[in-house]
Structure 1
Amino acid sequence: MRSWQYSSTKGGMENNLSLNTVSMPQPQADQHLVKVIAAAVNSVDYRLAEFQFLHRTTFPKPASPGAEFAGIIIKPAPGSALKAGQLIFGAAGTNFMHGGAMSEYALASTKATIPMPTGLSTTDAAGIATVGLTSYQSIIPHSVPGSKVFINGGSGGVGTFGIQIAKAEGRHVTVSCSTVNAELCKSLGADEVIDYKNQDVLQALKSSPKKYDLVVNNVDSTASRALYWHAHEFTTPKARFVTVAVSHQLPFIRFLLAAHFLPDFLGGAQRKHVVCFGSPEMDQLKMIADWVVEGRVRVVVDGVFGFADVKEAYTRSKTRRARGKIVVKIAEEEECVA
């Protein structure tokens, strides 16, 4: 089979990718062997891989990126109720940092995949698992119906899902985004939009008569981290600040240590900080997929790239200008609907 792989990430993971012919993967007892039809790009695919110490010490050489996928079972795991030829989706591999979905065939854990519901396409299914679960878990456990939620960064993969999931579960949603993405965010259900191109986000939040019950930060930047230190000025006393946009960069690591360990009498913040990594909760994944089929949530796709264009797909992701998900058609001749 063919697989996109890298052994180094110096100069950027995308610049080290090569399309190699390799042996078919051999599944363990709790894994399906699947033919990948479509896979989705996530920033976590390269952010942690480009942390050189982590890459040298924990990544296989070579490694294949990609976790989110949709595909067809070739060989089901022993004892599984799923059958060969069945369409499934979820997360490939056993490690979200190098799942191997950017390959013609991949391994998928029985605990991280489910059957595609009737009416769901492989292109949409490929872009649900990581961002859908991360969006759900960053919002729903930390708020209640009627809560006022601020999502910093509403037009990316997690943001577009977050708006819709929050609205589906009865939250009031304010988001930040650029001017060109304001209408997109409103079309997804955002009640209010702060245009960071023309407004200072922190000042807009502080001057609002609203007090937010939850802040979800999808943007890793100095300005976004500053929101946390001022969160007591625009949130309710028991509000939580959930960080989704994690990074290996030193400024983020310093922020994370201070947010969790610096007491408020020494200048620490006055709101609880939570880091959210989407965990494989299959009941939640099924519910989100059903919402997509029902039309309550839609998968916003920035672009669909061919298997030969994986480097370009990751380059697009790194611009931070993608609106929604970036999907790669691994089996370019196939588009399946369950």
Structure 2
Amino acid sequence: MQAWQYSTTGQDIVAALELKNLDIRAKSSLRKDELLIEVISASINPVEYKIPEASGVMSSFLLSLPATPGLDFCGRVAAKHKDCSAFQEGQNVFGALSSAFIKAGTLARFVVVNSNQCVLLPPGVDLDQAAATGTAALTAYQSLFPNSTTQPGSHVLINGGSGGIGTFAIQMAKARNIHVTVTCSTPNIELCKAVGADEVIDYKKCDLISELTQRGQVFDSVLDNVGVPDNLYHKSHQFLKPSGTFVLVAANPNVSGMARIARLFMQPSLLGGGQRRLMWTMVETKQADLTQIAEWLADGSLRTIVDSTFEFEDVPKAFQKLKLGRTKGKIVIHVAKQP
């Protein structure tokens, strides 16, 4: 089978990727809870280039090379272990792999996944729509529910509303009757409103901290998808309720990025640290969460904003576009022809 791979770390993934011919895992080698998936559509996330491009311990020791990137997928069950009863061969499923430190990702014609990393594709749901949920939708869901103070009737601020996580978070919050204020740049205002944002702050036209401070302590939760401005958490007591939670989503997987997170958690408020509860979303692939996402896709409460699609042969071009940081929603890769 064909699969995209990189064999080095610490360099531009666009240049490092090569299309290789690899063996397909034999059905007899599958463990009890494993499925062999013929990938039809996949989608890519920033973490899939940030980790291999990072230099140092994290990329060198936690990645087994050569490696195939890709976490999100929608495809057909091509084979399963004889004792796996959750799925049947020929069924369409979607989901996400559970770790970015993987050797065999979804940018391949076939991928082996654990059966708890996917759910059945609901009837009538487009394969591209499902393929592009995965990591971004799980991150949005787990940032909003159930560990934060974001409950029906509350008010959430989403810093960075036009990307994959942001557009999913807006829709999920509205599905639970939550008031949503988002930040974005001028060209993305209409997109954020279209997916349900109640209020949009154009950070290009104001000082964001001053704008939020003027509103007072009105937010129950803040989701920071951007990490900018740098002092957003430190100033959050000016616009986040005393009982509120600041949820950090954006983080660079390198030494400086991890050091920044450590400082945020460890710096006492008396020494200039934040004064509100801080959480950092470490996304997990939970089948129960995927089931909720599938229900929302099926009833129309959730839709994927697809920025662009690329053919399997053009995966490096897809990463090149993703790295520009200007995507509206998700980038989808067509790995195989849709049935």
Could you tell me the TM-score, scaled by structure 1's length? 0.94
For the 8 Å contact 1:154–1:160, the answer to whether it is kept is: yes
Distance 1:252 1:58, change over 3 A: closer
Identity, % of aligned pairs?
37
**TM superposition shift of 1:308:** 0.5
1:187-206 residue CA offsets vs partner (Å, 9 max, x unmatched) = 11101001111122211111
Name which of 48, 51, 54 aligns with 2:58.
54
**TM superposition shift of 1:255:** 2.4
Counterpart of 1:175, as a letter, is V
| Residue 31 (structure 1) aligns with | 34
| Residue 121 (structure 1) aligns with | 126
For the 8 Å contact 1:30–1:78, the answer to whether it is kept is: no
The 3-state SS of whatever aligns with 1:66 is coil
Measure, in 2, the Cα distance between the counterparts of 1:250 and 1:313.
Answer: 26
Measure, in 2, the Cα distance between the counterparts of 1:55 and 1:96.
Answer: 11
The 3-state SS of whatever aligns with 1:228 is coil
**TM superposition shift of 1:210:** 5.5
The 3-state SS of whatever aligns with 2:158 is strand
Measure, in 2, the Cα distance between the counterparts of 1:165 and 1:77.
Answer: 35
**TM superposition shift of 1:140:** 2.2
Measure, in 1, the Cα distance between the counterparts of 2:264 and 2:138.
Answer: 24
| Residue 252 (structure 1) aligns with | 257
1:176-235 residue CA offsets vs partner (Å, 9 max, x unmatched) = 0111100010011101001111122211111125611100010134x1x31000000111
| Residue 221 (structure 2) aligns with | 214
1:226-280 residue CA offsets vs partner (Å, 9 max, x unmatched) = 1000000111001111111111345433321122112222222101111102212
Measure, in 1, the Cα distance between the counterparts of 2:222 and 2:129.
Answer: 27
Measure, in 2, the Cα distance between the counterparts of 1:50 and 1:305.
Answer: 22
Measure, in 2, the Cα distance between the counterparts of 1:121 and 1:6.
Answer: 30
| Residue 67 (structure 2) aligns with | 63
Unaligned runs of 5+ in 2: none
**TM superposition shift of 1:79:** 1.9
For the 8 Å contact 1:300–1:324, the answer to whether it is kept is: yes
Measure, in 2, the Cα distance between the counterparts of 1:136 and 1:95.
Answer: 17
1:157 aligns with 2:164: yes
Unaligned runs of 5+ in 1: none
Distance 1:267 1:209, change over 3 A: closer
The 3-state SS of whatever aligns with 2:171 is helix
| Residue 2 (structure 1) aligns with | 2
The 3-state SS of whatever aligns with 2:206 is coil
Distance 1:97 1:43, change over 3 A: farther
| Residue 270 (structure 2) aligns with | 265
| Residue 174 (structure 1) aligns with | 181
Distance 1:287 1:248, change over 3 A: closer
The 3-state SS of whatever aligns with 1:149 is strand
Question: Please, what is the CA RMSD of the aligned residues?
Answer: 1.5
**TM superposition shift of 1:97:** 3.3
For the 8 Å contact 2:219–2:244, the answer to whether it is kept is: yes
Matches for 1:124-135 after TM superposition, within 5 Å: 124-135=129-140
For the 8 Å contact 2:184–2:200, the answer to whether it is kept is: yes
**TM superposition shift of 1:281:** 1.9
Measure, in 1, the Cα distance between the counterparts of 2:214 and 2:271.
Answer: 26
1:281 aligns with 2:272: no
| Residue 12 (structure 2) aligns with | 12
Measure, in 2, the Cα distance between the counterparts of 1:126 and 1:62.
Answer: 24
1:95 aligns with 2:95: no
**TM superposition shift of 1:298:** 1.0
Matches for 1:324-335 after TM superposition, within 5 Å: 324-331=329-336, 333-334=337-338
Distance 1:290 1:65, change over 3 A: same
For the 8 Å contact 1:140–1:166, the answer to whether it is kept is: no
Measure, in 1, the Cα distance between the counterparts of 2:295 and 2:288.
Answer: 11
Displaced runs of 4 or more, over 6 A:
none
1:110 aligns with 2:115: yes
Name which of 24, 47, 53 aligns with 1:44.
47
| Residue 202 (structure 1) aligns with | 209
Counterpart of 2:54, as a letter, is F
Question: Size of the alignment, in residue pairs?
Answer: 331
